[in-house]
Amino acid sequence: MASGVVAGKQGHSALTGLAFAPDKGRARTTGQPAATRTTAHNQNGNRPGMSLALIAALPFLGALLPGLMIRAGRTACAVSTGAVTALALLLLGLNAPAVLRGEVVQTRIEWLPQLGLNANFMLDGLGLLFAGLILGIGLLIILYARFYLAKADPMGQFYTYLMLFQGAMLGIVLSDNILLLLVFWELTSLSSFLLIGYWKHLPEGRQGARMALTVTGAGGLALIGGMLILGNIAGSYDLSVILTQKVAIQSSDWYLPALLLILLGCFTKSAQFPFHFWLPHAMAAPTPVSAYLHSATMVKAGLFLMARLWPVLAGTPEWFYIVATTGLVTMLLGAKIALFKHDLKALLAFSTVSQLGLITMLLGFGTKAAATVAVFHIINHATFKAALFMTAGIVDHEAHTRDIRRLGGLRVLMPVTFAIATLAALSMAGIPPLNGFLSKELMLEEAAHTVWWQNPWLVGVLATIGALFSVAYSFRFVAHVFLGPMRDDYPHRPHDPGFGLWAAPALLAGLVVLIGLAPMATAAWLVDAAAGAVTGAAVEVKISHWHGLEPAALWMSLAAIGGGLMLLGLFAPLSRLWEGTPRPEAKRIFDGLVEPLATLSRRITDALHDGAVTRYFAIATLAILAAGVWAFVSGTHQQGDHALTPVALVPAAGWALLMVTTCAIVALHRQRLLVLILVGVVGLMVSVGFAYLSAPDLALTQISVEVATVILLLLALNYLPKTTPAESGGARRLRDGVIATLAGLGAGGLIYALMTRDFAFDTIAAYHLANAKTEGGGTNVVNVILVDFRGYDTFGEITVLGIAALVIYALTESILRPGPANDRLRLWKAESQDAGDRHPLMLVVATRLILPLAIMVGVFIFLRGHNLPGGGFIAGLVVAIALVMQYMASGFEWTAARQKIDYHALIASGVLVAAATGIGAWFNGLPFMTSAYGYVTLWPLETFELATAALFDLGVFLTVLGAVMLSLASLSRIALRAGETVNLAPYDIDPAAGRTVKEEAR
Amino acid sequence: MTHWIIAPVVLPAIIGALIVLAMRRDLLLQRIFGLAATVALLAIALALLVASSRNPPEVYFLGDWPAPFGIVMVLDRLAALMLALTAFLALMVQLYAVGTGWDARGRHFHALFQFQLMGICGAFLTGDAFNLFVFFEVLLIASYGLMIHSGGAQRLRAGVQYIAYNLVGSTLFLFGLATLYSVTGTLNMADLAVKAATLPAGDAALLRVAGVLLLLVFAIKGALVPLHFWLPNTYAQAPGPVSALFAVMTKVGAYAVLRIYTLIFPPGTEATGTLFADLLMPAALVTLVVGAIGVLGASSLARLVAFAAVASMGTLFIAIAAFTPQATAAALYYMLHSTLAAAVLFLIADLVTARRAGDSLHHALPAIAQQGLIAALFFAGAIAIAGMPPLSGFLGKLLILDASRGAGMALIWSTILITSLVIIMGFARAGSVLFWKSHASPAEPDARPAEPLAFVAVFALLAGLAALTIFAGPVMEMMQATAAQLYAPAGYIGANALPGGV
């Protein structure tokens, strides 16, 4: 972190003096290491304790306080919040002398140098002006809000949001890095969203908050684009660098896009036409928020940014015509609407729109003098408008209404409020000697000299009309609320509030008078500093009330005041006319855009994601097919040169059987049991195919997998509907058929292309063949690949199998809990008659005989696996099938009661044995899964081989066995729930007793 | 040779199996061992992260077989980064699941959780294309188990779609691998990289097909339109903590794209050219749009978050599809961010739905217990995923925008910026209905027990996002080094010590 002060004669030379600024570009583009840049900067001297970052951070830190301090009471809460703001203001004040001398105070913290985003802060005249406004008025708002908020309002929350907002605003005006500025910019949108929606129970509050967020959020996103382009042109995201790049920026092809995007951000934030509509709706916020955000600070962020970038963006015709015209239109439109609003805050809101338009117009003129007036009016507007909002809040607070038509005659009941409101309103109207008069006259003077599209008087006349309306609405505010006869139908009998509530607006009204009376002493120095920073040239304003009779502004002012009074006199008929004319209602238009957009989004989303899995598959298949075909046809392809194998009878027959079966499956797929059998046929043919193609291991595996899965599926199907309902019509089936055919052709074509060609390189298979015996200790290469070369894959796959069984178990558990599936099972009725014997004697006896044989076969297959077809996987399946047959013969429960092995344990120990075998290699300093083998002679056996791979294979065996059995166990639990009975004897007919054995239901 | 590389796979496998073997009847034991294992995993992952940043890519030859004949695991910066991210997220999710009692609402939660971690870690570490498939299977089946944890008709229905859709992906993976093997005769990724670069011209078309099929597999995992259809319902219906963990599952797809298409098919490959970028970029843009529209049009909170996750995948793939070191570094940063952001939002959504009588966004319901706190959390989570400041999503988006200058910039920028607005609007609407409108009705008495662990998890994830923001500079430095390593694959290939001294 480095804090520094750069000395210079005045604002601009200080800024350009920053050309030395070490951070001329991002580290990426300049290749300059970050460290040297920081060091270079440190040589400029430090001002310890003057960190601007601290000023910007204080409100954020302070945001934590109110939430806590509210426990100590509302006053403690407000005082602690105010203390933080005051501290920040004090720190700012300590920096002020340097800034006023024309220096630029800087603090630089590296944050994300790769992007050029650094926490660089700077304070110049413009920053000082805005920071002062934010903190000063912030302090007054905190005071005001303490007395404004009702007991029921959560005050801690309010102050927290307010401080977040304050920090964000401070960040904007202190940022020396435009990306950092963007961060704070978006933060103001977010925090104002919270503030506007503070009264959650009011629908207007919620909608106003969303509208403000949407509009300013949209502008913020445009601003991001604009700022990125701007930084790209300038080669840096640091303002101090960008501000020196006027020529480069204005001559760039990207100038106009950048300008448009940045202005979009500014105009939305500052409620410029046609984005002005959100501001009045944001008035649903509590009045302190309106006074703070919507008059003094946030809406001025757009103005601030235009002023900040004025040196590099202004001065072009594009700038003039866009900015000045927008400002002018906004000024007129806002003023006109303001006059006819009956809600006090709405009147003030539109008057703010109008006044902001005025300032925008001045900035748009692009001349130094106009920019100086803009700065001056920013100060004046902040003072009188905040005071007006606060008085409006007081009226609302006391009279319980803000409707002007229900008010009037309050001057007697609320003399203090009346005095404050009148001073502020007169200033807004531009009545001498108040400060509003000073800046408005200067504005009119500038407008009078501005030529718009070769038209020398248009701007002057329109500006006068705008001023005229502002006189009218200002007087209306006073006349229709405070003057006139006292009424006896106020919703609540009003009287002046306590000192706490009127202190803040009174202070501001004092400023209005003070600046008005002695502008040179109270404001000129600040205007000089700020305008110097904006325009980049020394500014020394001469502000006076009287310029003689020559200036046009005098006559324009007089015309405005006279016309304004006349307008107010004609208010009643004009108002009727206004009410009678149809006009676009912003909220309706906004809702008319956003609501259909949301509805449309919902429609699109729901239509796209309608839950129809067949359509998802159709889309996926088409996408895959299209991408695959495109990839193929857009590349070069050399046909393979393998000769086709002549067709022999046996494979042809097998192929024909496969075809027939597949067609049958398509035709009969609604009959589930039948299809299962047909799938079994396919599996059988695949097994035969493997055997025919000399892959006995695969054939064995395939056939045992087939048997096990068909049995399990049969058991599962027992409790499911036996037929699949027809859910799609003919057209869709045709479509699906076409897609499926195309996909099949694609897959077939791909396989054909692959099988008719040679590998481009030697394959890894050659190594496996050569080393299976010598290195892996087995002659069955398939098995050595499975347990050794790629044993790690097998480790993963047996885990998959184990997990699958666990999932089946867990799924069964959840199905059997009370719920629809469980209910259906309880009510389940067998669709077909049971066989006479559920556990036929012959079957029982046969399976008993087969059991030891099958286990023997399993052990045999297991042991020979390393050298001959077999191995743990197949052995596990064989033994599992033998066991499954016992269960089929005598029923699950009966059989389970006779063996004590837990299938969970079987699976887990299988995985553990496999893992332990792999880990064993570590103790020899070898990687996981390294196998070892040796030859052992054990009398009376022949010398045989022992390989650690066999231990691994044991793990495979156990997992496979456990997985099949756990699945079976889960299915049998479903059967029990469906009312299956448990037999007490191994078979139905006890030959010894000669009678049927009873079964019991569980 | 250090065995630590394989620890992230073996440790959860063993703990998962032990939980099934000895602890399946005792929830407390499962919790203790499960959490301890994840803590250990996090420690190992961090150690590997440090190691990977100091050393060149390191290869672990499983079974002591030389590459390319056996299977290898490779630890490089990217793999280590993904491991650390996964372990951190997993620990928080697990804390949440324990804290809210989700783990007790069905069987085998902790075992499946460990197996899930095994699958994810294995996928990140492997240097073998087929082994990648195996670990995709491990993580798929375990994720299915977690997804349907505790059952319910809606969830089971969504689960069927999830598993079915992803099995299509698995099948496609096999097709892709078979094609790749048939052309090159190898499965080791480094070897594939060497072979793909020197492939005869006549094989180019088939290699392209293989590359595209694999890309589509990863697109399914990464939920790219039009292969994203499995995601919204799955994420919306899965238990909250499981959805949160799944935030890293989509990143497995993104990881695989980064790995395969910088190593095997880098942008300069003659046979494939810019094929993959040309496919990815439009899909990514459309994904972002579909996700954003989904956010605005979501009818329930869970779907809102699910579509936000889709949108974030779109943004991520936009950055990936540029296939430049700068954009990849930005993508990596955004990946860290979006994983944590989506996860925390899923957890917060779960906090809301557990307290609310329904998660419909159409009508207001009575205020929920701990409304203020949860609303604040939701606000933070929404800011994060929408890419608003001050959280890292904003920085990530800026980085991506900054990195996508040049051709197509106008389209990319406007898509990203406009969808951001749409997402913000969607979240503002939702938050307004959930937390503001509800104020109209009186709060119910707090019926739920305080769930400190759950809140600890949520706060820790948010703290992770804050740390990503504050330390964006150093983190980005790391991402740049990671991206640089990806685009200089010689180190990766060399570590495999392929025969022929390549």
Cis peptide before A433 (omega within 30 of 0): yes
Measured CA to CA, the distance from residue A601 to residue B290 in angstroms comes to 9
Mean pLDDT of A620-647: 92
**What type of residue sits at position A890?**
S
CB contact under 8 A, A201 and B440: yes
Query: What is the torsion angle, in degrees rounded to the nearest 10, for the CA atoms of residue A432, residue A438, residue A440 and residue A443?
Result: 150
With beta carbons less than 8 A apart as the criterion, state whether A977 and A818 touch.
no
Only one residue has tokens 């206004």, namely: A578
Above 90 in pLDDT, residue B182?
yes
Condensed to tens digits (0 to 9), the pLDDT of residues A557-603 reads 888 888 888 887 887 888 888 887 777 777 788 888 888 898 899 99
pLDDT higher than 60, residue A2 = no
Distance from CA of A86 to the nearest CA of B (A): 25
Among A22-31, A879-888, B39-48, B124-133, which is the least confidently predicted range? Answer: A22-31
Element (H, E) at A1001: strand A999-1001
What pLDDT is stored for residue B484 in this prediction? 96
**Which residues 477-496 of chain B have a CB within 8 Å of chain A?**
477, 480
Dig out the tokens for A381 from the structure. 């507007």
Question: What pTM was computed for the model?
Answer: 0.92
B24 in contact with chain A, both atoms CB, cutoff 8 A:
yes
Closest residue in chain B to residue A154, using alpha carbons only:
B372
Please report how many Cα atoms fall inside a 13 Å half-sphere around the Cα of residue A338, on the Cβ side: 32
So what's the pLDDT on residue A67? Answer: 85
Buried b (16+ CB within 10 A) or exposed e, B130-168: bbbbbbbbbbbbbbbbbbbbbbbeebbebbebbbebbeb
| Chains A–B, number of C-beta pairs less than 8 Å apart | 378
Residue B370 lies in a domain: yes
* A620's tokens: 């996926």
**Percent of chain A as helix, strand, coil, to the nearest 5:** 70, 5, 25
Q: What single string gives the DSSP state of each residue in A818-838?
A: SSHHHHHHHT---SSPPPS-S
B280 to chain A, any CB pair closer than 8 A? The answer is no
Across the interface, do A222 and B417 touch by the CB < 8 Å criterion?
yes
B139 touches chain A (CB under 8 A): no
User: Average pLDDT, stretch A482-500?
Assistant: 83
Smallest Cα distance from B453 to chain A, Å: 23
Which of B55, B66, B54 shows the shortest CA–CA distance to B190?
B66
Query: Is B502 a domain residue?
Result: no
Which of B435, B79, B70 lies closest to A930, judged by CA? B70
Dmax (CA) for chain B in angstroms is 76
Q: What is the pLDDT of residues A957-1000, one digit of tens each?
A: 999 999 999 999 898 888 888 877 777 777 766 666 655 555 55
Give B409-437 pLDDT, tens digit per residue.
889 999 999 999 999 999 999 998 888 88
Indicate the residue type of A925.
G
Band (A204; pLDDT cuts 50, 70, 90): confident
- Binned at pLDDT 50, 70 and 90, residue B339 comes out as very high
The structure tokens listed for A589 are 């238009």
Maximum Cα–Cα distance for chain A, whole Å?
A: 135
**In the predicted model, what is the mean pLDDT of residues A644-667?**
92
Mean per-residue pLDDT, A124-149: 93
Average pLDDT of span A795-806? 95
Determine the structural domain holding residue B61 and report its residue range: 2-497
Give the number of other CB atoms < 10 A from CB of residue A837: 14
Q: Which residues of B touch A771 (CB under 8 A)?
A: 69
Q: Give me the pLDDT at residue A716, please.
A: 86
Question: Which residue is it, tokens 């009702």?
Answer: A150
Which is nearest to B146 in space by CA: B121, B99, B97, B113?
Answer: B113
| Measured distance CA(A990)–CA(A986) in Å, rounded | 9
Please state the rounded mean pLDDT for residues A163-191: 94
Q: Does the pLDDT at position A792 exceed 90?
A: yes
Please compute Rg for chain B using Cα positions.
22
Question: Residues B485, B55: contact at Cβ < 8 Å?
Answer: no
CB atoms B62 and A771 under 8 Å: no
Q: What is the mean pLDDT of residues B154-167?
A: 93
Q: Is A634 touching B (CB cutoff 8 A)?
A: yes
- Averaged over A115-131, what is the pLDDT? 92
Residue B431 to residue A292: CA distance in whole angstroms: 25
Q: Looking at the predicted structure, is the pLDDT value of residue A44 above 70?
A: no
Q: How confident is the model at residue A703 (pLDDT cuts 50, 70, 90)?
A: very high
- Answer yes or no: is B255 within a domain: yes
pLDDT at position B443 over 60:
no
Q: Is the pLDDT of residue A34 over 50?
A: no
pLDDT at B448 (0 to 100)? 61
pLDDT of residue A13: 34
On the question of pLDDT at A609 being above 50, the answer is: yes
Q: Residue A844: exposed, middle, or buried by beta-carbon count in 10 A (0-12, 13-18, 19+)?
A: buried
Closest by CA to B458, choosing from B379, B358, B393, is: B379
pLDDT, residue B446, reads: 56
Residue A743, helix vs strand vs coil? helix
Residues of A in contact with B107 (CB under 8 A): 806, 809-810, 813-814
User: Across the interface, do A803 and B14 touch by the CB < 8 Å criterion?
Assistant: no
User: Per mean pLDDT, which range of A629-643, A835-849, B268-282, B314-328 is the poorest?
Assistant: A835-849
- Inter-CA distances, A315 with A264, A366, A371, A531, Å: 18, 5, 11, 16
Quick check: A543 and A384 in contact, CB under 8 A? no
Percent of chain A past pLDDT 90, that is, above it, reads 45
**Residue-wise DSSP of A401-430:** --BGGG---HHHH-HHHHHHHHHHHHHHHT
What pLDDT is recorded for position B205?
A: 94
User: What is the band of B146 on the pLDDT scale with cuts at 50, 70, 90?
Assistant: very high
The token pair at B288 is: 């972002």
Q: Is A600 on the interface with B (CB under 8 A)?
A: yes
Cα–Cα distance measured from residue B39 to residue B17, given in angstroms and rounded to the nearest whole number = 17
Angle at which helices A791-815 and B129-147 cross, to 10°: 10
Nearest to A803 among B112, B201, B211 (CB): B112
Confidence of residue A915 (pLDDT cuts 50, 70, 90): very high
What residues 446-475 of chain B have any CB closer than 8 A to a CB of chain A?
472-473
Q: Which residues of B touch A210 (CB under 8 A)?
A: 425, 428-429, 432
Whole-angstrom CA distances from A218 to A350, A945, B209, B418 are: 21, 75, 42, 8
Report the 3 state secondary structure along B357-381.
CCCECCCCCCCCCCHHHHHHHHHHH
8 Å CB contact between A301 and A269: yes
Task: State residue B502's pLDDT score.
Answer: 45
Q: Answer yes or no: is B156 within a domain.
A: yes
Q: What is the mean pLDDT of chain B?
A: 93
Mean pLDDT score, B245-267: 95
Q: For residue range B6-26, what is the model confidence (pLDDT) as tens digits? A: 999 999 999 999 999 999 999
pLDDT score for A544? 78
User: Element (H or E) spanning A294, and its range?
Assistant: none
Domain presence at residue B367: yes
Q: Which residue of A has its CA nearest to B175?
A: A747
Q: pLDDT tens-digit profile of B64-73?
A: 999 899 999 9
Please tell me the least confidently modeled range out of A424-433, A486-495, A869-878, A939-948. A939-948
Number of helices (H), then strands (E), belonging to chain B: the values are 20, 2
pLDDT band, very low/low/confident/very high, at A17 (cuts 50, 70, 90) = very low
Mean pLDDT of A433-458: 85
Counting other chains too, the contacts that B401-406 makes at CB distance below 8 Å and 24 or more residues apart are: B401/A224, B401/A225, B401/A228, B402/A115, B402/A116, B402/A228, B402/B330, B403/B319, B403/B322, B403/B324, B403/B326, B403/B327, B403/B329, B403/B330, B404/B318, B404/B319, B404/B322, B404/B327, B405/A232
In the structure, what pLDDT confidence band is assigned to residue B478 with cuts at 50, 70 and 90? Answer: very high
Position B22 in a domain = yes
Mean pLDDT score, A126-130: 94
Helix (H, G, I), strand (E, B) or coil at A996: strand
Give the Å distances, CA to CA, from A1 to A4, A116, A496: 10, 16, 51
A908 touches chain B (CB under 8 A): yes
How near does any CA of chain B get to the CA of A113, in Å? Answer: 6
Report which secondary-structure segment, H or E, holds B12: helix B7-22
Task: State the pLDDT confidence band at A384, using cuts at 50, 70 and 90.
Answer: very high
Please enumerate in sequence order all residues whose Cβ is within 8 A of that of B426, keeping only pairs 6 or more positions apart, or say none.
A598, A601, B292, B295, B296, B297, B298, B304, B308
The pLDDT of residue A561: 85
Residue A738 has pLDDT above 60, yes or no: yes
For the cut 90, the answer to whether the pLDDT of residue A628 exceeds it is yes
Which of B62, B142, B182 comes nearest A927 by C-beta? B62
* B390-422 core/surface letters (b: 16 or more CB in 10 A; e: else): bbbbbbbbbbbbbbbbeebeeebbebbbbbbbb
Domain count, chain B: 1
Q: Nearest Cβ partner of B13 from A634, A753, A911? A: A911
Q: What percent of chain B shows pLDDT beyond 70?
A: 97
Q: Is the pLDDT of residue A680 over 70?
A: yes
**Residue A883 CB-density burial (10 A; 0-12 exposed, 13-18 middle, 19+ buried):** buried
Q: Does A995 touch chain B (CB under 8 A)?
A: no
β-strand partners of A3: A107
3-class DSSP state of B229? coil
Going from the C-alpha of A532 to that of each of A10, A129, A312, the distances in angstroms are: 7, 12, 14
Whether the predicted pLDDT of A1001 surpasses 60: no
Lowest mean pLDDT among A369-373, A404-408, A551-555, A815-819: A551-555
Q: What pLDDT, on the 0 to 100 scale, is given for residue B100?
A: 93
The pLDDT value recorded for residue B103 is: 93
Name which of A217, A636, A904 is nearest B24 (Cβ-Cβ): A904
For the cut 90, the answer to whether the pLDDT of residue A631 exceeds it is yes
